[in-house]
Amino acid sequence: MIKLQPIKKKQTILRSPYLFILASLVCLVGSLFYFQPGVGYEIISNGEHVGYVKTKAQAEQTVESFNRQIRDEKGEAATYDLSVAYQKGKMDKKEFTSTDVMKQNFEQSLDIRMPAYIIKSDSKAVMAVKDEETAQKVLNAVKQPYVVKSDSSKISNVRVNFIQDVEILKLEKVSEENILESHEALSKVNPSAAVSRSKLTRSLVPETNTIAQLFDIKTSYEEKGTVAVAPGVQKVADPTMKIGQTKVKTEGKSGVREVNRLVTMVNGSVVENKVLTQKVVEKPQDKIVLYGTKSTASGVVGIAKQYLGTPYRWGGTTPKGFDCSGFTSYVYRQLGVSLPRTSYSQSKAGTRISRANLQPGDLVYGPGHVGIYVGGGSYIHAPQPGQSVKISPMSQFRNFSHGVRVM
């Protein structure tokens, strides 16, 4: 028994280093298994690379932190689909991604949807904005170039409306990348406004130069104005003046008419100008012209008798020779009265007179022939080829139709 005790003590002493080494190896293997040098996790969000982390626990913490950040920044109304995958592998020369960079990459991989207001024109979406107030500002900006300034004395009842069916509609889920800020939305209808362009593609929003094509603006207003009313002409007989003489007694004066119109424009061009009411506020003063009625030896008959004996000439209109209508027109022209060239036209040049009411100086007409009544049942005329201007009894005027009073 005494010999055995030292032997057991020696065996215990020999075994304790092995136990220590074994424990150290276990710890080392466990540490290597946990930390796995040269190995990491790639985070993939909605099919897009987000970054690299050492452990899966770090990735999960980053995802949870990102979700809280979105709720804080966007509010509870924000919605999105987030599908995260973790791919374990060797890092090689890859570097781990910082938390801030990963959060930014997470956000770019998402389609974040927010409540927004859509402006529509004939059921076609024009743009999306954050609030109804901004939408109304945009529509007002579209109308603004076509607003006519109202002047209480001339222009009133100005109305500016869209021809298309335009509405503002609220939607609960609109891609955030398509929702314009107020200054961006206004720049679409006012290209001169300075705007910092987003790098995101806003497919819902048309280019600035197509905005005008999506709206047609109808402008209408009432306009008061005045127009001149031309004076008339009154002819007054003056027995002190010879037949054929005229004289302006008063020049006359234009009047004024007040007109109220309804003007309609489309996209700035006038398409209708309708008179609603009108009234004369200042009457025009007629021009008065005196004309002579005094008949003397130098009157029509007296002048006509001066050419007795002038030979007949076909187409003649001068004292070298007359045909019938050439003779009558020449005589009247001496008194300042212009007659048509042919006998038929002269038959309609004045007031029609029956044979019983003929007076000296009246034209006497029958088909193909015309002369001048001299009184006493006779007339003076250029008869026919081979004869001269002469006075003949009316009884010899074959086919007489009627007289014409020119004076």
d(CA 407, CA 292): 9
Q: Answer yes or no: 369 catalytic.
A: yes
Triad 305, 391, 348: Cα angle to 5°: 85
- Contact at 8 Å (CB) between 366 and 398? yes
Q: Answer yes or no: 49 catalytic.
A: no
- Contact at 8 Å (CB) between 32 and 83? no
Half-sphere CA count of 188, side-chain side, radius 13 A: 28
Alpha-carbon distances of 122 from 162, 165, 203, rounded to whole Å: 10, 5, 18
3-state secondary structure of 115: strand
Structure-token match 């930014």, residue found: 104
Triad 68, 69, 71: Cα angle to 5°: 65
The alpha-carbon radius of gyration of the chain (Å, integer) is 55
d(CA 6, CA 3): 6
Structure-token match 């999306």, residue found: 128
Please pick, among 27, 183, 369, 402, the residue that the annotation labels catalytic.
369
Please pick, among 27, 49, 183, 381, the residue that the annotation labels catalytic.
381
Here the tokens at position 371 are 């002369």
DSSP 312: B
Please pick, among 27, 49, 324, 402, the residue that the annotation labels catalytic.
324
The percent helix, strand, coil of the chain (3-state, each to 5) is 30, 40, 35
Does residue 32 come out as left (phi exceeding 0), alpha (psi in the -120 to 50 range) or beta?
A: alpha
3-state secondary structure of 48: strand
Here the tokens at position 52 are 């690299």
DSSP 96: P
Its sign, for the CA torsion 375, 381, 383, 386, is positive
- Contact at 8 Å (CB) between 323 and 389? no
> Which residues carry out catalysis?
324, 369, 381
